[in-house]
Amino acid sequence: MKKVLLGMSGGVDSSVAAILLKKQGYDVIGLTMNLHEKNDANFGNDAKELCKKLGIEHYTCDYTEEFDEKVISNFVCQYKNCKTPNPCIECNKYLKFGAMYEMAKKLGCDYIATGHYAITEYDEKYKKVVLKKSKSLKKDQSYVLYNINPEVVEKTIFPLGKYESKEEIRDIARKNGFEVANKPDSEDICFIPDNNYVRFLEEEKNFISKQGNIVNLDGKILGKHSGLYKHTIGQRKGLGISNPVPLYVIGYNIEKNELIVGEEDKLYSNEVILENFNNLLGIEIDGLKIKAKIRYSSKEASAVIHKELINGKEQIKIIFDERQRAITPGQSLVAYIDDVVVGGGIISNL
């Protein structure tokens, strides 16, 4: 019997994943990762009770230090550099598919599993196990999984990937008598439960508002801002400036502490420079035609990957067929061929 370590939050997705894995004949062990709930005596109890009901082992492990180092510190650093990070991507890389994978090996497990909506399966074209979109495109989470280690892909199972709706998952939970069937989805950043990242940066990470100028591309001063970290590319509201034509945040001058604004046309570009490209497929990507997303919620668009040498250093550039709106440094670009994840990287260009 193959043994699998399942990441369990106590929510409906990971709970149903446990049910499905058991029905498929796996020896399941549940793992609840304490990432940021410091000194919470009740942490992991929901998952522990579910595992008890299913008759499977359960562990709760403290990863708060690793989470702080790899996820929260990166989140803070990105905002200090006027970038907009996606902390879930870092968490998946280092914690849920990094630390958990290492734990699985210690426990003698053959696989790890989570309640993410994605698919891993052998693909004849690439002669390997690949990461694919889930059948439920509304719930698909392959975007936030692009940065995991390629080695881990073939050791990962996503039991929910081939279900077409969340309601199917809730039905399975109900039929098995799980009270979590109607538990709402969590959509906030887990360590910022009110989703107010400005409050988090100021109250918990000592960011200090520093007033500066809002300028147009000609350097003309149009108003004042109270902190560059409070503004994102594409923002229109809340700038406190008036202009005959609507103006949007199009960039930053960190050295001068200036927020740069321009008309909407200036938000569009067809070129993206990427840092730390993770080639999940391990194939030659120069000249590769792909579909790409520049943020989790964006639509895919046709593009080509190019490798370039800049000052002796290889650089990955993505050129879209059509210009994209509000390409945002710190966010990730993820590349697909059909439903297969090619890989992706962090957007670096302003």
Global pTM reads: 0.94
- What is the CATH classification number for the domain harbouring 59? 3.40.50.620
Looking at 144, 167, 182, which one is the last position of a domain? 182
Whether residue 166 sits in one domain with residue 103: yes
Q: Contact, 349 vs 327, CB < 8 A?
A: yes
Whether residue 337 sits in one domain with residue 252: no
Whether residue 277 sits in one domain with residue 243: no
Pairing of strands 111-113, 3-7: parallel
Q: What does the block give as tokens for 113?
A: 């599993």
Whether residue 301 sits in one domain with residue 176: no
- What is the CATH classification number for the domain harbouring 281? 2.40.30.10
Residue 224: inside a domain: yes
Whether residue 144 sits in one domain with residue 8: yes
- The total of structural domains in the chain comes to 3
Whether residue 101 sits in one domain with residue 65: yes
Q: Is 77 a catalytic residue?
A: no
DSSP 148-163: S-HHHHTTEE-TTTT-
Residue 187: inside a domain: no
Residue 198: inside a domain: no
In order along its 350 residues, the chain shows pLDDT tens digits of: 899 999 999 889 999 999 999 999 999 999 999 998 765 666 788 899 989 999 999 999 999 999 999 999 999 999 999 999 999 999 999 999 999 999 999 999 999 999 999 999 999 999 999 999 999 888 999 999 999 999 999 999 999 999 999 999 999 999 998 878 777 777 678 999 888 999 999 999 999 999 999 999 999 999 999 999 999 999 999 999 989 999 999 999 999 999 999 999 999 999 999 999 999 999 999 999 999 999 999 999 999 999 988 777 889 999 999 999 999 999 999 999 999 999 999 999 75
Closest CA to 7 of 69, 73, 92: 92
Q: Identify the active-site residue in 51, 82, 88, 91.
A: 91
Q: Contact, 215 vs 224, CB < 8 A?
A: no
Q: What does the block give as tokens for 5?
A: 């370590």
Sheet holding 27-34, edge to edge: 57-62, 27-34, 3-7, 111-113, 156-157
Whether residue 234 sits in one domain with residue 132: no
- Report d(CA 51, CA 29) in Å as an integer: 8
Phi-psi category of 312—alpha, beta or left, where left has phi over 0 and alpha has psi -120 to 50? left
Cβ burial, residue 312 (10 Å; 0-12/13-18/19+) = exposed
Please give the single-letter amino acid code of residue 65: E
Expressed as residue numbers, the domain containing 338 is: 268-347
Query: Among positive and negative, which fits the CA dihedral 193, 137, 28, 157?
Result: negative
Residue 189: inside a domain: no
Whether residue 216 sits in one domain with residue 95: no
Residue 293: inside a domain: yes
Residue 202: inside a domain: no
Q: Is 190 a catalytic residue?
A: yes
Whether residue 91 sits in one domain with residue 168: yes
